Structure 1
């Protein structure tokens, strides 16, 4: 009897131990999220702007308890830094992420292949292509394949991502080493992707009730008939995306250098130098030599410097307008810090825009006054109005100085007679800045009062 009880106790202990072990080893189960599905569309070159846009959408999806984030891509490739940032984001985000290459005819070339392989769920529309991920470098002769060291590094990196996501590592490696390309059907046959679907609604229907394991967690997807939210790029992301395009950034960089060159060749023109400086900074940022925060700070400092220069020099408003544009660009590119409330950035941008508008109004007023003053000069017969009379403050023998209404004028005796200091004179005529004078009637022998 005792032996049977001991045996029963032992069996119970073993079962409990096994259950505890399974609980520890197996991924934990989580309840299905009750929020919407977030859809993000990326088309064209992968840039820092698209990376920031995607990160913001992931944060919004997490804040709204989204069930799934779906990325729709159609890209020929992109910048390495932005692509690797997206890979890290997908690998570590605590939310299931699906990537679909769509619509039909779309491609996931180069950087697109990296993004597709790093997704939790990968899909392609019929008639799409993925692959050709061999890195290239830009030289004066054009583009050429990167060196063997670089190719080997990225091949192993993509292989590692594929192994983590349960996709064929040798295929991922050939994307980089051999520029391998695959159609949607070929990718599905070898297990590189999970689905061939035409669009996002068809993908959501295919993954309904699917269990996704990620970072030792289990996510139950319930995606049937759920709302799909999407959002557009904000102004900051649009500017980063535009200037981050390699073709655009190269043109902006060249225009900046040309502006500075022509400005130095024709000193005093101001416009080429100011425009060239701003474009040069943006071009350097676009090709990746400056990060976003550094570029924003440099543009803000340049803008403040130009406005100060406008105050103390005759820039005719050009430096002021350039400074305003530089400040706005710098404010847009200022990075969003995680410890600052987003409302603060809205207030900051409104303050910057309001300040710039105020400065532009002042500059427009100053420019109008300058133009009006110059117009009056051109319409008048001379550049100054000579006085009618004055007091000799030096002997005019025959030239000297007279004083009229608190101003000193160069004067010359009309008849070349001596006019002594203190005598009151009348102005006969003016030639350039020289006044021709003669003594007032009955003043030849009676000096005038110098304080008149």
Structure 2
């Protein structure tokens, strides 16, 4: 009971930490069962509902598996406590509970693994992907003392570009920076253009 209460207190004082709240809720319900304050059927049902709620929350909250593991534990304990009878054949088979828990754990760890793998992939969109991109000038930019502006096609989109050197239509350019919605470009060497 005390672990459950302290877990909930810690979760409420540090919202978003998740683990103390999950452990606290499970321990509190099991503690109430141990003290015979709740009938066993309601305790099992409450643990099953808590487990299902935690499994559902795992899909929407960034808890990195904590809610999912807590949901599996709560669901398993609740399924074992749900039926209060010694009559053979009326209880929930332990093999069924173990199979459901193992299947759910494999699913959660598989999805978490895929999420971590996707997180390590390089950025393919946004301003990070524009750096060092190659494009083609769409119009002529005359030489000038200051940076002049024109239009270029970069990654299949038309961008306003700025350069300190003269650029001609159809000339390959490389993005070297960005100023708001204007890209800063430089001419691309022929050797670099061939490599790309």
Q: TM-score, normalised by structure 1?
A: 0.31
Gaps of 5+ in 2: 139-147, 189-196
SS of equivalent to 1:414:
strand
SS in 1 for 2:176: strand
- 1:72 is aligned to none
Q: 2:31 aligns with which of 266, 283, 292?
A: 283
Moved over 6 A (4+): 431-435
Whether 1:342 aligns to 2:77 is no
Equivalent pair of 2:85/2:91 in contact (CA under 8 Å)? no
Structure 1 residues 218-264: Cα deviation after superposition (integer angstroms, max 9, x where no partner): xxxxxxxxxxxxxxxxxxxxxxxxxxxxxxxxxxx111122122222
Secondary structure, in 3 states, of the residue corresponding to 1:289? coil
| Aligned position for 2:77 | 329
Aligned to 1:116: none
Report the CA distance shift for 1:436/1:270 in structure 2 as closer, same or farther (over 3 A).
Answer: same
How many angstroms apart in 1 are the aligned matches of 2:187 and 2:84? 77
Instruction: State the Cα distance separating 1:297 from its structure 2 match.
Output: 0.3
Question: Contact 1:427–1:436 (CA<8 Å) still a contact in 2?
Answer: no
Report the counterpart of residue 388 of structure 1 in structure 2.
Answer: 134
TM-score (norm 2): 0.66
User: What RMSD in Å do the two structures reach over aligned CA positions?
Assistant: 4.1
- Cα pair distance change 1:436/1:403, threshold 3 Å: closer
- Say if 1:297 and 1:346 are closer, same or farther in 2 by CA, change over 3 A: closer
CA drift at 1:313: 2.7
Residue in 2 aligned with 1:258? 6
Question: For 1:74-130, what per-residue CA distance to the aligned partner results, in whole angstroms no more than 9, with x for missing partners?
Answer: xxxxxxxxxxxxxxxxxxxxxxxxxxxxxxxxxxxxxxxxxxxxxxxxxxxxxxxxx
Could you tell me how far apart the structure 2 residues matched to 1:432 and 1:300 are? 55
1:306 aligns with 2:51: no
Matched, 1:436 2:183: yes
Residue 302 of structure 1: how far off its partner (Å): 0.5
The 1:278–1:424 alpha-carbon spacing in structure 2 relative to 1, beyond 3 Å, is farther
Matches within 5 A, 1:51-450: 253-337=1-85, 342-343=88-89, 345-347=91-93, 349-376=94-121, 384-386=128-130, 387-389=133-135, 404=155, 413-415=161-163, 426-430=173-177, 436-438=183-185
Deviation at 1:326, TM superposition (A): 0.4
Give the distance between the partners of 2:17 and 2:76, measured in 1 at CA: 23
Structure number with larger C-alpha Rg:
1
CA deviations over 1:307-330 (Å, ceiling 9, x no partner): 111123322111111100000010
